Amino acid sequence: MKSKDRIIIFDTTLRDGEQSPGASLNINEKLEIAAALARLRVDVIEAGFPVSSPEQFESVRLIAGKIKGVVITGLARVMQKDIDQAALALKKAGRPRIHVFVGTSPIHMKYQLRMTENEVFSRAVWAVKYCRRFTDDVEFSPMDATRSKRDFLFRVVEGAIKAGANVVNIPDTVGYTTPDEFAALISDIKANIPGAARAVISVHCHNDLGLAVANSLAAVKAGAGQIECSVNGIGERAGNTSLEEVVMAVKTRKDFFGKTVGVKTEEIYRTSRLVSALTGIPVQPNKAIVGANAFAHESGIHQDGVLKKSSTFEIMSPRTIGLKSGRIVLGKHSGRHAFMKKLRELGCAVRGAEFEKAFTSFKNLADKKKEVFDEDVEALIEEHVKESPQAFRLEYIQVTTGNNTVPTATVRIKTKGATVQEASCGDGPVDAAYKAIDRITKISAGLVDYSLKAVTRGKDALGEVSVKIADRKGRIMSGRGISTDIIEASALAYLNALNRLASRR
């Protein structure tokens, strides 16, 4: 028996979660997720709906036989064939539970079930008693409870408990309720139903109004002892209560909820990534707890605070969910403190004027890119801090090109205190730019080699151009240019080589 201060975590990733459009899993994938949930130490795994298909039956049977140390449950309607199939699938489970449900709202009874209140009541009581033939652990759910009439809902719940249900789940099946309403409903159930104390009150909330987590936590404050949830919040329509969010809310705000969970939170991130990979449902970047940005900081003020004391902007440690650390993201909002830390991590000893020069170059690049990666910073240091003296500095470049247009480039270069601009045509935009540069620099050199590659990831990746040029005496100089614009990178590389050649002379 669980402590009254312990919230039972009932995971329905493999049942309700799999009902997400496009999230179908095969048997081996379900077994892999079930093993991960066991490592996560959830209390209950709802393995599937055995009667719905042979594949569902087999997956529940396999999980029940292989996954130990956790309650394995199968879903069933208040029908004998459903319960028989669930019992058969769970036969080898060390701790089996049958979860039986029936709709209790007027709209469900009238249009879906075509049954009267008395018929639904009788069927619910019969089903719970029949489940008890197979297991002592029976959960009953009055589907669409939050849109059900209170007096009838209370009558059905009382009947289910008397019939032997040791868990009564109150589902917000269509995500209709609000936290205050739901808390009041849970309180009323506990206060007004005879024998309610004999059963664990569970909640199963959907996220149609974005309130699933809030409703579940409000229910906990009102006395609910079990939360039904799924990894990454996947499920029907807008999804279910997010496991990682309710678990970390209870853990982080123990001062408020006064409850504990048995989940091994260090497995959260790993499990989240596994479920995302196998279902094909990506985790949105700003998703609480497990999103890519959940522990990432780009603002200079936030970065400065986190670098000095992580708790200034992190209410929980990344390590508690299985991450090594938070992430300092270099971008246009980043400040000197974060940039200096990144340089130290990369082993770049840059101080004083060199640092200021590098920081200015970084900010210019950050205005063009969403995120500046380590490779970007290394390239900046090499390009802008360790460069040779510049006789020629690019100020402006514009090209016009197309499949039916003669490539033309206009280039403006600062040299010897003056600014010179030239234009030229060429076989392509790079050739046109190089010819314009030749007109300005008046250095006779031939292009020996040209290569282009992406330095970093993404559509806005930096392009790195490397060139080799040879003068009339056969001296070869290399140059390198980096930019999100490959034409600009090409011009910078060519000028870098020409500057080295001019310096050598």
Please state the residue numbers annotated as binding site: 16, 204, 206, 240
Enumerate the known binding-site residues for Mn(2+). Answer: 16, 204, 206, 240
How far apart are the C-alpha atoms of 283 and 265, rounded to whole Å? 18
Pairing of strands 418-425, 405-415: antiparallel
CA distances from 146 to 22, 26, 225, 383 (A): 28, 33, 18, 63
Q: What are phi and psi of 468, to 5 degrees?
A: -130, 135
| Backbone φ/ψ region at 174: left (φ over 0), alpha (ψ -120 to 50), beta | alpha
User: Which of 202, 150, 195 shows the shortest CA–CA distance to 46?
Assistant: 202
DSSP characters over 12-49? -TTTTGGGSTT----HHHHHHHHHHHHHHT-SEEEEE-
Pairing of strands 445-454, 463-471: antiparallel
Integer distance in angstroms from the first to the last C-alpha of the chain? 86
The answer to whether the beta carbons of residues 265 and 251 sit under 8 Å apart is yes
Burial code of 98-117, b = ≥16 C-beta within 10 A, e = fewer?
Answer: bbbbbbbbeebbeeebebeb
How far apart are the C-alpha atoms of 101 and 113, rounded to whole Å? 12
Bridge partners for 193 per DSSP? none
- For 116, residues 6+ apart whose C-beta sits below 8 A from its C-beta are 109
How far apart are the C-alpha atoms of 193 and 197, rounded to whole Å? 9
